[in-house]
Amino acid sequence: MNLGIKVAKFGGSSLCDAEHFKKVKAIIESDPDYRYVVPSAPGKRFDADEKITDLLYQCHRLVERNASHEELFRKIADRYIAIAQELELDFDVKGMLMETSDAIRRFKNPDFAASRGEYMNGVMLAKYLGWDFIDAKDVIKFDRQGTFAAEWTNEVLSEALKDHPRAVIPGFYGAYPNGEVHTFSRGGSDISGAIVARAAGADVYVNWTDVSGFLMADPRVVKNPRCIRELSYRELRELSYMGATVLHEDAIFPVHRAGIPTNIRNTNDPSDPGTMIVMKPSPDRDRSQVITGVAGHKNFTLLSIEKAMMNAEYGFGRRVLQALEDFGVSFEHLPTGIDTMSVVIADKELVTRKEQIIQRIQQTCQPDSIEISSGIALIATVGHGMTSAPGTAAKLFTALSDAGVNIRMIDQGSSELNIIVGIDIQDFEVAMNAIYNAFVKD
Ligand code: ASP
């Protein structure tokens, strides 16, 4: 009995060899609700291994220089042949590989070359599952400038899916209006999966990867952080903006807008429920957990601008921001006081333009002083639970002060979903651990 529609995306590490194809098949066959599968290209089997997509880009670079790519392509071919043989797939895998190699040479197109990793994996997975294959170039549409055409795609794709009750649609690529292949940015199969989920009207988009979901903090900084069981799309946005990554950030939009939850799961541990990304926090979310996660990012500069009676001066803030706009610089945060205004800017934005911007602010705003502090790190503490829990800020600041961390800036978003602090880079690890430990009890 079909209760719903699930769309599954499997990342490159989940389809890196025949063993993993078997795991994928077991997962798909364990639940009849799975109707559409979006595969990536085979990824790394071990740390020093090469991703098929990287090898394909290298093949293209050789072709572009009129050098032979055949020897390199053999590495790619060997991986697909090994998978096909071990799975005893009954089709002409060598023919497909020869055709692909030849087309890479003839077309001399980097997107086309790169897309073949997903294309060939999709063909093989469809054979292995006994499902239909839909070429993404026919259903994922870009406009002539290469911008993803969301509505056009949704129309064409949902129509196509009606003819295929179960199908494999390769991730990462689509086509321009003239049919020429175009890819998303790297890691873009996540986006394809979300697009298919929207077009299928899925009840859930299951993103199968090699980790059991989102962690509450970066494990390179905080030891053994807990896994987040439930996360809202807004919390996800706050955490990923601060550098927490599991999903391609453009993969959030199609499913969020369509009201479809995303479930991050681990192909190597399918019994783990992973992380559920939902529209709104569910009523049974663990109330004792005030924060959902903590994430941070280094290398920011803080411009602190001071001027007596600033609050009474018309257009002061606008003139400061105009100076940034004139030099094409975007800012991250803008905490203000009565006579002070601070602007937090990523160092990479400022590299060559710092002096010019300062000069412009001096000219147009005539402040009493401008102080520039570089070497700032930002940490965002995020969670819907913070809205209803009194004393959250006190707990956060006490934890930082007990750890001897000096706070250089505080910004609490008006949504009360997060509190962002700016600290010195050298305090980053200590601060992340202090915040995590203050809120998470084992
Ligand atoms: N295979 C592509 C990449 O390596 C797309 C993806 O895996 O999502 O970036």
* Structural domain includes residue 1: no
Atom of ligand 1 nearest to the CA of 192: 8
* Structural domain includes residue 397: yes
Identify whether residues 180 and 329 lie together within a single domain: no
Q: What pLDDT was estimated at residue 413?
A: 73
- State which of 38, 118, 119, 209 you would mutate to test the pocket of ligand 1, scoring each by most atoms of that ligand within 8 A of its C-beta: 118
Residues paired with 266 in a beta bridge: 209
153-to-112, 158, 184 alpha-carbon distances in Å? 19, 8, 14
How many angstroms separate the CA atoms of 422 and 420, rounded? 7
How many angstroms separate the CA atoms of 207 and 40, rounded? 11
Q: Could you tell me if residue 368 is left (phi over 0), alpha (psi between -120 and 50 degrees) or otherwise beta?
A: alpha
Identify whether residues 429 and 329 lie together within a single domain: yes
Atom of ligand 1 nearest to the CA of 172: 5
Q: What pLDDT was estimated at residue 411?
A: 87
Atom of ligand 1 nearest to the CA of 54: 4
Identify whether residues 199 and 307 lie together within a single domain: no
> Residues lining ligand 1, judged by CB closer than 6 Å?
12, 40-41, 51, 53, 117, 171-172, 186-190
Residue 246 contacts residue 264 (beta carbons within 8 Å): yes
* Structural domain includes residue 111: yes
How confident is the model over 100-159, as pLDDT tens digits? Answer: 999 999 999 999 999 999 999 999 999 999 999 999 999 999 999 999 999 999 999 999
Residue 254 corresponds to which tokens in the numbers above?
């199609």
* Structural domain includes residue 227: no
Q: What pLDDT was estimated at residue 338?
A: 86
* Structural domain includes residue 29: yes
Give me the CATH number covering residue 131. Answer: 3.40.1160.10
- pTM of the complete model: 0.90
Atom of ligand 1 nearest to the CA of 11: 7
Q: Other C-beta atoms within 10 Å of 431: how many? A: 26
* Structural domain includes residue 335: yes
Place of tokens 């790519």: 69
Residue 235 contacts residue 384 (beta carbons within 8 Å): yes
Q: Which one-letter amino acid corresponds to residue 264?
A: I
Identify whether residues 309 and 201 lie together within a single domain: no
* Structural domain includes residue 240: no
How many angstroms separate the CA atoms of 100 and 313, rounded? 66
Q: 207: Cβ–Cβ under 8 A, 6 or more apart, which residues? A: 8, 9, 11, 190, 193, 247, 251, 262, 263, 264, 265
- Classify residue 293 by burial, with Cβ atoms within 10 Å: 0-12, 13-18, 19+: buried
Identify whether residues 197 and 309 lie together within a single domain: no
Distance 183 CA to ligand 1 centre (A): 10
Residue 285 corresponds to which tokens in the numbers above?
């979310």
413-to-229, 277, 333, 347 alpha-carbon distances in Å? 24, 21, 10, 22
Atom of ligand 1 nearest to the CA of 185: 9
Residues in the chain where the model's pLDDT stays below 70: 1-3, 442
How many angstroms separate the CA atoms of 190 and 284, rounded? 28
Residue 247 contacts residue 190 (beta carbons within 8 Å): yes
- State which of 37, 52, 186, 190 you would mutate to test the pocket of ligand 1, scoring each by most atoms of that ligand within 8 A of its C-beta: 186
* Structural domain includes residue 308: yes
Classify residue 412 by its DSSP letter: E
Single out the residue in 175, 208, 241 at which a domain terminates: 208
Task: Note down the domain range covering 107.
Answer: 6-184+192-208
**Three-state secondary-structure class, residue 293:** strand
Task: Tally the domains of the chain.
Answer: 2
- State which of 115, 118, 189, 192 you would mutate to test the pocket of ligand 1, scoring each by most atoms of that ligand within 8 A of its C-beta: 189
Identify whether residues 50 and 152 lie together within a single domain: yes
Give me the CATH number covering residue 409. Answer: 3.30.2130.10
Q: What pLDDT was estimated at residue 3?
A: 61
Residue 40 contacts residue 171 (beta carbons within 8 Å): yes
Q: Where are the alpha helices (DSSP H) in 108-184?
A: 110-129, 136-139, 150-162
Q: Other C-beta atoms within 10 Å of 338: how many? A: 10
Q: What pLDDT was estimated at residue 1?
A: 44
Q: What pLDDT was estimated at residue 12?
A: 97
Q: Closest Cα to atom 5, ligand 1: which residue?
A: 187
